[in-house]
Structure 1
Amino acid sequence: MIKFVLMVNRQGQTRLSRYYQPVELNRRAALEADAVRCCLSRKKDQCSFVEYKDFKLVYRQYAALYIVVGVTDSENELSIYELVHNFVEVLDKYFSRVSELDIMFNLDRVHIILDEMIQNGHIVETNKSRILAPLTALDKMMDG
Protein backbone atom coordinates (compact mmCIF):
# COMPACT_ATOMS: atom_id res chain seq x y z
CA MET A 1 0.00 0.00 0.00
CA ILE A 2 1.15 3.53 -0.74
CA LYS A 3 1.60 5.65 2.38
CA PHE A 4 2.49 8.98 0.74
CA VAL A 5 3.66 10.71 -2.42
CA LEU A 6 6.05 13.66 -2.30
CA MET A 7 7.37 15.86 -5.05
CA VAL A 8 10.39 17.94 -4.04
CA ASN A 9 13.03 20.02 -5.78
CA ARG A 10 16.81 19.69 -5.37
CA GLN A 11 16.78 22.18 -2.51
CA GLY A 12 14.43 19.87 -0.60
CA GLN A 13 11.38 22.16 -0.92
CA THR A 14 8.16 20.18 -1.04
CA ARG A 15 6.06 21.02 -4.11
CA LEU A 16 3.41 18.33 -3.61
CA SER A 17 2.53 16.02 -0.76
CA ARG A 18 -0.29 13.52 -0.58
CA TYR A 19 -0.82 11.19 2.36
CA TYR A 20 -2.90 8.02 2.22
CA GLN A 21 -2.44 7.13 5.88
CA PRO A 22 -2.97 9.62 8.68
CA VAL A 23 0.17 11.40 9.85
CA GLU A 24 0.00 14.20 12.41
CA LEU A 25 0.77 17.61 10.94
CA ASN A 26 3.66 18.26 13.30
CA ARG A 27 5.26 14.92 12.28
CA ARG A 28 4.80 15.47 8.52
CA ALA A 29 7.48 18.14 8.21
CA ALA A 30 10.03 15.96 10.00
CA LEU A 31 9.04 12.88 7.98
CA GLU A 32 9.27 14.77 4.69
CA ALA A 33 12.61 16.38 5.56
CA ASP A 34 14.11 13.07 6.68
CA ALA A 35 12.80 11.05 3.71
CA VAL A 36 13.87 13.68 1.21
CA ARG A 37 17.33 14.00 2.78
CA CYS A 38 17.67 10.24 2.55
CA CYS A 39 16.85 10.22 -1.19
CA LEU A 40 18.72 13.39 -2.19
CA SER A 41 21.93 12.21 -0.53
CA ARG A 42 22.10 9.08 -2.68
CA LYS A 43 24.30 8.86 -5.77
CA LYS A 44 22.87 8.40 -9.25
CA ASP A 45 24.30 4.88 -9.54
CA GLN A 46 22.58 3.71 -6.33
CA CYS A 47 19.27 1.87 -6.27
CA SER A 48 16.07 3.94 -6.23
CA PHE A 49 14.57 1.80 -3.46
CA VAL A 50 15.52 2.59 0.13
CA GLU A 51 14.59 0.81 3.36
CA TYR A 52 13.41 3.58 5.68
CA LYS A 53 12.09 3.09 9.22
CA ASP A 54 9.10 0.72 8.95
CA PHE A 55 8.52 1.19 5.21
CA LYS A 56 10.31 1.64 1.88
CA LEU A 57 10.98 4.72 -0.20
CA VAL A 58 10.81 4.51 -3.98
CA TYR A 59 12.05 7.60 -5.79
CA ARG A 60 12.86 8.92 -9.25
CA GLN A 61 14.54 12.11 -10.37
CA TYR A 62 13.26 14.16 -13.29
CA ALA A 63 15.45 17.20 -14.01
CA ALA A 64 15.32 19.26 -10.80
CA LEU A 65 12.38 17.36 -9.27
CA TYR A 66 12.34 14.21 -7.20
CA ILE A 67 9.21 12.14 -6.73
CA VAL A 68 9.35 10.09 -3.53
CA VAL A 69 6.76 7.44 -2.69
CA GLY A 70 6.57 5.79 0.72
CA VAL A 71 5.18 2.25 0.57
CA THR A 72 4.63 -0.67 2.92
CA ASP A 73 7.10 -3.56 2.87
CA SER A 74 4.63 -5.77 1.00
CA GLU A 75 4.33 -3.39 -1.99
CA ASN A 76 6.11 -4.17 -5.26
CA GLU A 77 8.84 -1.55 -5.69
CA LEU A 78 9.06 -1.93 -9.46
CA SER A 79 5.34 -1.31 -9.92
CA ILE A 80 5.64 1.89 -7.86
CA TYR A 81 8.74 2.90 -9.84
CA GLU A 82 6.73 2.53 -13.05
CA LEU A 83 3.74 4.32 -11.49
CA VAL A 84 5.97 7.34 -10.84
CA HIS A 85 7.08 7.34 -14.46
CA ASN A 86 3.48 7.01 -15.65
CA PHE A 87 2.50 9.95 -13.40
CA VAL A 88 5.22 12.11 -14.99
CA GLU A 89 4.13 11.04 -18.49
CA VAL A 90 0.54 12.05 -17.70
CA LEU A 91 1.76 15.42 -16.37
CA ASP A 92 3.86 15.87 -19.53
CA LYS A 93 0.86 15.06 -21.72
CA TYR A 94 -1.40 17.51 -19.87
CA PHE A 95 1.06 20.39 -19.48
CA SER A 96 3.11 19.80 -22.66
CA ARG A 97 6.52 19.32 -21.03
CA VAL A 98 5.74 19.78 -17.36
CA SER A 99 7.98 21.98 -15.23
CA GLU A 100 8.26 22.81 -11.55
CA LEU A 101 6.36 26.06 -12.19
CA ASP A 102 3.47 24.15 -13.82
CA ILE A 103 3.18 22.08 -10.67
CA MET A 104 3.39 25.09 -8.34
CA PHE A 105 0.77 27.14 -10.20
CA ASN A 106 -1.59 24.26 -11.03
CA LEU A 107 -1.42 22.24 -7.84
CA ASP A 108 -5.16 21.53 -7.92
CA ARG A 109 -4.86 19.92 -11.35
CA VAL A 110 -1.84 17.86 -10.30
CA HIS A 111 -3.84 16.60 -7.30
CA ILE A 112 -6.74 15.68 -9.60
CA ILE A 113 -4.34 13.65 -11.78
CA LEU A 114 -2.84 11.93 -8.74
CA ASP A 115 -6.30 11.22 -7.30
CA GLU A 116 -7.36 9.60 -10.58
CA MET A 117 -4.33 7.30 -10.37
CA ILE A 118 -4.24 6.48 -6.64
CA GLN A 119 -7.14 6.14 -4.23
CA ASN A 120 -6.82 5.13 -0.58
CA GLY A 121 -3.20 4.16 -1.17
CA HIS A 122 -3.94 1.76 -4.04
CA ILE A 123 -3.30 2.17 -7.76
CA VAL A 124 -6.67 2.34 -9.52
CA GLU A 125 -5.85 3.69 -12.99
CA THR A 126 -2.84 3.79 -15.29
CA ASN A 127 -4.45 4.62 -18.66
CA LYS A 128 -3.38 8.19 -19.55
CA SER A 129 -6.59 9.07 -21.43
CA ARG A 130 -8.82 7.90 -18.59
CA ILE A 131 -6.71 9.73 -16.04
CA LEU A 132 -6.97 12.99 -18.00
CA ALA A 133 -10.70 12.64 -18.84
CA PRO A 134 -11.96 14.65 -15.81
CA LEU A 135 -9.49 17.47 -16.48
CA THR A 136 -10.35 17.51 -20.18
CA ALA A 137 -14.05 17.82 -19.28
CA LEU A 138 -13.26 20.54 -16.73
CA ASP A 139 -11.21 22.48 -19.28
CA LYS A 140 -14.03 22.23 -21.86
CA MET A 141 -16.53 23.57 -19.31
CA MET A 142 -14.25 26.51 -18.54
CA ASP A 143 -13.73 27.31 -22.24
CA GLY A 144 -17.37 27.00 -23.22
Structure 2
Amino acid sequence: MTLVSKLLYAVSTLVLLHSGFSSYEFHHLLKLKSLNSAQTVIHELPKDIKYEIYVGLVLFVLAVFTSFEKLQYLPIESNDGMIISEGNYLKEIALNKATNVDNLIGSNPNGEIVFTPSFVDVHAKRKLSREWASNNEKKEK
Protein backbone atom coordinates (compact mmCIF):
# COMPACT_ATOMS: atom_id res chain seq x y z
CA MET A 1 0.00 0.00 0.00
CA THR A 2 1.38 3.37 -0.96
CA LEU A 3 1.61 6.46 1.20
CA VAL A 4 -1.06 8.18 -0.90
CA SER A 5 -3.58 5.39 -0.30
CA LYS A 6 -2.84 5.36 3.44
CA LEU A 7 -3.34 9.11 3.58
CA LEU A 8 -6.61 8.86 1.63
CA TYR A 9 -7.82 6.09 3.98
CA ALA A 10 -7.05 8.24 7.01
CA VAL A 11 -8.71 11.37 5.61
CA SER A 12 -11.79 9.47 4.42
CA THR A 13 -12.14 7.76 7.80
CA LEU A 14 -11.94 11.09 9.62
CA VAL A 15 -14.45 12.71 7.25
CA LEU A 16 -16.90 9.80 7.59
CA LEU A 17 -16.56 9.75 11.39
CA HIS A 18 -17.14 13.51 11.54
CA SER A 19 -20.20 13.28 9.30
CA GLY A 20 -21.57 10.44 11.45
CA PHE A 21 -21.07 12.48 14.61
CA SER A 22 -22.68 15.54 12.97
CA SER A 23 -25.66 13.41 11.97
CA TYR A 24 -25.95 12.10 15.54
CA GLU A 25 -25.87 15.64 16.93
CA PHE A 26 -28.48 16.81 14.42
CA HIS A 27 -30.88 14.00 15.33
CA HIS A 28 -30.25 14.49 19.04
CA LEU A 29 -31.09 18.20 18.77
CA LEU A 30 -34.14 17.35 16.66
CA LYS A 31 -35.42 15.03 19.40
CA LEU A 32 -34.93 17.69 22.09
CA LYS A 33 -36.73 20.26 19.97
CA SER A 34 -39.66 17.90 19.26
CA LEU A 35 -40.01 17.07 22.98
CA ASN A 36 -40.22 20.76 23.90
CA SER A 37 -42.68 21.69 21.17
CA ALA A 38 -46.04 20.14 20.41
CA GLN A 39 -45.34 20.07 16.68
CA THR A 40 -43.39 17.12 15.38
CA VAL A 41 -41.91 17.98 12.03
CA ILE A 42 -39.79 15.48 10.10
CA HIS A 43 -36.55 17.11 8.99
CA GLU A 44 -33.95 15.88 6.57
CA LEU A 45 -30.23 15.95 7.14
CA PRO A 46 -28.66 19.28 6.26
CA LYS A 47 -26.96 19.47 2.88
CA ASP A 48 -23.50 20.05 4.33
CA ILE A 49 -23.66 16.73 6.22
CA LYS A 50 -24.83 14.93 3.06
CA TYR A 51 -22.02 16.47 1.04
CA GLU A 52 -19.54 15.50 3.75
CA ILE A 53 -20.72 11.87 3.52
CA TYR A 54 -20.39 11.89 -0.28
CA VAL A 55 -16.88 13.35 -0.11
CA GLY A 56 -15.86 10.76 2.49
CA LEU A 57 -17.18 7.91 0.33
CA VAL A 58 -15.44 9.22 -2.80
CA LEU A 59 -12.16 9.55 -0.90
CA PHE A 60 -12.57 6.01 0.43
CA VAL A 61 -13.15 4.61 -3.07
CA LEU A 62 -10.10 6.48 -4.36
CA ALA A 63 -8.07 5.06 -1.47
CA VAL A 64 -9.16 1.55 -2.38
CA PHE A 65 -8.19 1.99 -6.03
CA THR A 66 -4.82 3.55 -5.22
CA SER A 67 -3.98 0.74 -2.80
CA PHE A 68 -3.90 -1.90 -5.55
CA GLU A 69 -0.43 -3.20 -6.29
CA LYS A 70 0.93 -5.25 -9.13
CA LEU A 71 -0.04 -8.89 -9.00
CA GLN A 72 2.72 -11.34 -8.19
CA TYR A 73 2.81 -15.05 -8.88
CA LEU A 74 4.93 -17.99 -7.88
CA PRO A 75 5.71 -20.01 -11.00
CA ILE A 76 4.43 -23.58 -11.05
CA GLU A 77 7.19 -25.21 -13.09
CA SER A 78 10.44 -23.70 -11.83
CA ASN A 79 11.80 -24.41 -8.38
CA ASP A 80 14.10 -21.43 -8.03
CA GLY A 81 11.50 -19.51 -5.99
CA MET A 82 11.62 -16.43 -8.20
CA ILE A 83 8.43 -14.39 -7.95
CA ILE A 84 6.97 -13.30 -11.27
CA SER A 85 5.30 -9.90 -11.24
CA GLU A 86 2.69 -8.70 -13.68
CA GLY A 87 5.18 -6.75 -15.78
CA ASN A 88 7.40 -9.68 -16.70
CA TYR A 89 4.90 -12.53 -16.86
CA LEU A 90 4.79 -12.69 -20.68
CA LYS A 91 7.70 -11.68 -22.87
CA GLU A 92 7.26 -9.42 -25.86
CA ILE A 93 7.20 -11.22 -29.19
CA ALA A 94 7.07 -9.96 -32.75
CA LEU A 95 4.25 -11.37 -34.88
CA ASN A 96 6.55 -11.97 -37.85
CA LYS A 97 8.90 -14.06 -35.66
CA ALA A 98 6.01 -16.04 -34.25
CA THR A 99 4.60 -16.82 -37.68
CA ASN A 100 7.85 -17.72 -39.50
CA VAL A 101 6.72 -21.33 -39.97
CA ASP A 102 3.33 -20.20 -41.24
CA ASN A 103 4.96 -17.80 -43.68
CA LEU A 104 7.38 -20.47 -44.95
CA ILE A 105 4.64 -22.99 -45.71
CA GLY A 106 2.38 -20.32 -47.22
CA SER A 107 -0.27 -20.46 -44.52
CA ASN A 108 -2.03 -17.35 -43.36
CA PRO A 109 -2.60 -17.17 -39.56
CA ASN A 110 -5.58 -14.89 -40.18
CA GLY A 111 -7.06 -17.24 -42.76
CA GLU A 112 -10.47 -17.53 -41.14
CA ILE A 113 -10.88 -13.78 -41.47
CA VAL A 114 -9.29 -13.27 -44.89
CA PHE A 115 -10.68 -16.34 -46.66
CA THR A 116 -14.39 -16.83 -46.22
CA PRO A 117 -15.42 -20.05 -47.98
CA SER A 118 -18.80 -19.94 -46.27
CA PHE A 119 -19.83 -16.96 -48.39
CA VAL A 120 -21.66 -17.95 -51.56
CA ASP A 121 -21.63 -16.13 -54.88
CA VAL A 122 -25.36 -15.45 -55.19
CA HIS A 123 -25.17 -14.34 -58.83
CA ALA A 124 -23.44 -17.55 -59.91
CA LYS A 125 -26.01 -19.65 -58.01
CA ARG A 126 -28.88 -17.77 -59.66
CA LYS A 127 -27.31 -18.30 -63.07
CA LEU A 128 -26.96 -22.04 -62.38
CA SER A 129 -30.55 -22.31 -61.21
CA ARG A 130 -31.80 -20.43 -64.30
CA GLU A 131 -29.83 -22.78 -66.55
CA TRP A 132 -31.17 -25.82 -64.69
CA ALA A 133 -34.73 -24.51 -64.93
CA SER A 134 -34.38 -23.78 -68.64
CA ASN A 135 -32.88 -27.26 -69.27
CA ASN A 136 -35.73 -28.94 -67.39
CA GLU A 137 -38.32 -26.95 -69.34
CA LYS A 138 -36.72 -28.08 -72.62
CA LYS A 139 -36.72 -31.71 -71.47
CA GLU A 140 -40.40 -31.59 -70.48
CA LYS A 141 -41.46 -30.24 -73.90
The bucket for the TM-score relative to the shorter chain is under 0.3
Question: Please, what TM-score do these two structures have when normalized by structure 2?
Answer: 0.18
Question: Please, what TM-score do these two structures have when normalized by structure 1?
Answer: 0.17
More strand by share: 1
More helix by share: 2
